[in-house]
Amino acid sequence: MTPRELLRDLVSTPSVSGAEGAAAGVLVDYFEDAGREAWTDDAGNVRAPGDDAVLLTSHVDTVPGEIAVREEDGELWGRGSVDATGPLAAMAAASVETGAAFAGVVEEETTSAGARHLVETRDEPDAVVNGEPSGWDAIALGYRGLVRGTYEVATPSGHSSRPEPNAVQRATAWTERVQAAFESGDSVFESVTVKPVTFDGGLSADGERVEATVAVEFRLPPGTTAGDVQATVADCTDHGTVTWNEAIPPVVSSPRTPVAGALRAGIRQAGGEPTHLRKTGTSDANHYAAAWDCPVATYGPGDSALDHAPDERIDLAAFDRGVAVLTTAAQRLCTS
C-alpha cells in the first residue's frame, strides 16, 4: 500500500474521539502487511515498536463532522485529512520505511487519554516527533498550555421583572470580568486567552433556583502557571464557585536539538527552506515534553488553518513531501 493509499483509507474511516477502533485496525493491518509487529493497547493506541532513536507519533482521532471524501485539483478532502490523519499517515509510512518506532494515540481532541497512557506504559525514547499539521516545510517548537475551569452559580427563583441579578446574569458578568482580567501579551502565543466553550442556565427542575454553569478554557503561555490563572480568577469571583481540571503545562523546545536538526535537513532535502513555529493551541507534545526528558518537536504536512474546518483538505503533493521529510529525519536519527 502506498502512503497516499493509506491516507485515503484512513480519511475514509470515521475516527471521532472515543470511536477510533476501525481506523486503528487500518493502521495495524498496514504495519503487519509490511512485516512489522503492531497491536492496539489497553487505551486503544496503535503500537508498532521499532528503533527508539525516534518515536513518530500522531493522533488517530478527529473532531466530529462529515466531509465527503474526494480528490479534487490535487487535494484530498475529508474530515481529519489535515488534523491529524495527514501527519499520522505520513508518520506511519516513514516508520515502515525506516524502522523507527511508531504510536498512533487516541482522544487527543478530548482527553489526551492515549498520550497519557503512552507515557505511563512505555520507556522513554531518545526523541519524539509529534504529528500535527505544521505545513510540510515548518517545524513547531512551542505550544501553549491549557487549564479548564467550570463556574457554577445559583440564585433563588423569582419573577423576571425583579431587579436583582439572577444566576444567568451573574455567570455572564463573571465571564466578562475574567476575560477582562488578563492582559494581552506581545503576541497571542505570549498571552493568556480565555474561551468560554459551553454555557447552560435556567430554572432548576424543582423550580426553586435559577442555575448557570460556564465551562472555560484558559491557554497558558510560557512563564504562566495554572496557579497564576486560578489566583486571578479567584479575584474575579464573588459569587458562585469554580472547579478546576488537571492542567497541561506549556512547552517551548530548542531549535538546536538533534530532532529539530533532522527535520530541517529533511525539509531542505525535499526542496524547502525550513521555518520554526509556535502554536497557540495545545497538543500531545505538551504531555511528552512534561513526562520525558528527551527532545520533542512537532511536524506534519497540512495547512493548520483548515483544522476542524468544513472544507478540510490536504494538498497531496505536500503530503508526499511530508513523507519524504519524515523519512529523511528518521533515517538520520536512527543511524546517528
Q: Residue 268 has what pLDDT?
A: 98
Fold of 145-244: Alpha-Beta Plaits (3.30.70)
Q: Residue 164 has what pLDDT?
A: 86
Q: Residue 160 has what pLDDT?
A: 77
Choosing among 3.40.1520.20, 3.40.50.150, 3.40.630.10, 3.40.50.460, the CATH entry for 3-143+250-335 is 3.40.630.10
Q: Residue 116 has what pLDDT?
A: 96
Q: What is the pLDDT along the chain (336 residues), one digit of tens a residue?
A: 999 999 999 999 999 999 999 999 999 999 999 999 999 999 999 999 999 999 999 999 999 999 999 999 999 999 999 999 999 999 999 999 999 999 999 999 999 999 999 999 999 999 999 999 999 999 999 999 999 999 999 999 877 777 889 999 999 999 999 999 998 878 999 999 999 999 999 999 999 999 999 999 999 999 999 999 999 999 999 999 999 998 999 999 999 999 999 999 999 999 999 999 999 999 999 999 999 999 999 999 999 999 999 999 999 999 999 999 999 999 999 986
Q: Residue 161 has what pLDDT?
A: 74
Catalytic residue positions, numbered: 61, 108
Reading the block at residue 234, the C-alpha cell is: 479567584
* Residue corresponding to grid cell 503533493: 317
Nearest to 314 by CA among 27, 22, 73, 107: 73
- Ordered by start, the domain boundaries in the chain are 3-143+250-335, 145-244
Q: How many CA atoms lie within 13 A of 327 on its CB side?
A: 16
